[in-house]
Amino acid sequence: MVKPDPEYVQKRIVCSDVERARESLLNPKIIEQKKEERTIDELAKPLIEVSLKEGIETVWDRYEKQQPECKFCAEGLSCSRCAMGPCRIIPEHGRVRGVCGADADLIVARNLLDTIATGAAAHSDHGREIIETLHKTAIGEAQGYTITDGVKLRRIAEEFGFETERLTDEELARDVALALLEEYGTTKNYVQFSRRAPEKTQKIWNATGITPRSVDREIVEAMHRVHMGVGADYANILLHGLRTSLGDGWGGSMMATDISDVLFKTPEINESTVNLGVVKKDHVNIALHGHNPVLSEMVVRA
C-alpha cells in the first residue's frame, strides 16, 4: 500500500465522507493520482474513482487517516497487557522496561505470540465449525449438506485406525467427526495429522520441544504465557509461537481443509472468471465471502 505524502495529509484533514467528496470533486487531479496509487488493477480503478467522487470511505481512506502510525506499536514496543500499563520502550528516555520489568525483547516476543495465537484460534475454530457440520451431516441434522468425497473420508478414517469396510459414509463420518473434535483437546500429546510430516521433521520438532500437543492447548498456553509476570524468556516465548503455529497448521487448519473437501468436494484445476469482471449489469450480483465455506457453498448450491 502506497504511503501518502505526509504534507498532503497534514493539510487536508477530512472529517466526514461528505466533506471529503466535496473536496475530491474540486480536485480531479487528486482523484486521478490516488486512483493510480491505490491499485494496479485496471478493473478496480473505475470503482476507486467512484468511491473518491462520491465520498464512499474505503480501506485506503481509513489507512491514510491513521497516518502517521504509532511507531512503538509498529515496532512491537508497546504493551497494554495489564492495568499497570500501557508501557512503551523508549531507550533514549531511559524507558528500557515496562512497569512489570519486561524488556524490549520480551514485549516484542509476547506481542508476536499473541498475534500467532489469535491467528491459530481463528483458523482452528473455523475447522471446528466445519467438523461440527460434518457431524451434524452424519447424524442427519444438517439439512442440505452431503458427504461429497467419501474416498477422502475413508482415507482420514484409516489414519485414525478405523475399520472402514463395513460402515456407510454417514457412519464413518460420525466417527471421524468425533475423533477430529477430540483433537482440539486430545491428551495423547500430539495431533494426529502431525504424523503426516516427514519423519526427519518430526524428530526436529521433538528435539526442540515444539510438537503440538493438541490444538486448543497450545493456544490457551500461549495466552497464559503472554500474560504479565508469566513468560520471562523471549526465546522460550518464541518457541511456543512455533508450537502454536504447528498445532494450527497440522491440526485445526489441516482438519478444516480436509473436511471441507469431504463435504464440498476436493478442488480440481478448472477455468474460471475472476475479479470484478464477474459482475453482470443485468443480474442481481451476490458477493460471497468463501473463506469459511459452510454458508457460502450452500448459497452457491441453492
104 scored as a contact of ligand SF4 (CB under 6 A) = no
How many beta carbons lie within 10 A of that of residue 177, not counting itself? 24
- Member of 38, 81, 126, 213 binding ligand SF4 (CB under 6 A): 81
- Are the C-beta atoms of residues 113 and 219 closer than 8 Å to each other? no
| Segment near ligand SF4 (CB under 6 A); pick from 73-81, 135-143, 169-177, 293-301 | 73-81
According to the binding rule CB under 6 A, does residue 231 interact with ligand SF4? no
- The number of angstroms, rounded, from the C-alpha of 6 to the middle of its chain's C-alpha atoms is 31
Total residues found in the chain within this entry? 302
Q: Would you say 99 or 122 has its CB closer to ligand SF4? A: 99
Residue 73 contacts ligand SF4 per CB under 6 A: no
Which residue lies nearer to ligand SF4 by CB, 4 or 86? Answer: 86
Q: Which is nearer to ligand SF4, 87 or 210 (CB)?
A: 87
Pick one of 4, 76, 85, 150: the residue that binds ligand SF4 (CB under 6 A).
85
User: Judged by CB, which is closer to ligand SF4: 5, or 75?
Assistant: 75
Q: Which residue type, as a one-letter code, is found at position 141?
A: E
Residue-wise DSSP of 41-63 = -TTTHHHHHHHHHHT---HHHHH
* Strand-pair category, 78-79 with 87-88: antiparallel
Distance CA 214, CA 189 (A): 6
Give the integer Cα–Cα distance in Å for 204 and 256.
25
Segment near ligand SF4 (CB under 6 A); pick from 98-106, 119-127, 186-194, 294-302: 98-106
Out of 87, 109, 177, 255, the only residue in the binding site for ligand SF4 (CB under 6 A) is 87
Secondary structure class of 211 (helix, strand, coil):
coil
Residues that bind ligand SF4 (CB under 6 A): 79-82, 84-87, 98-100, 102, 107, 228
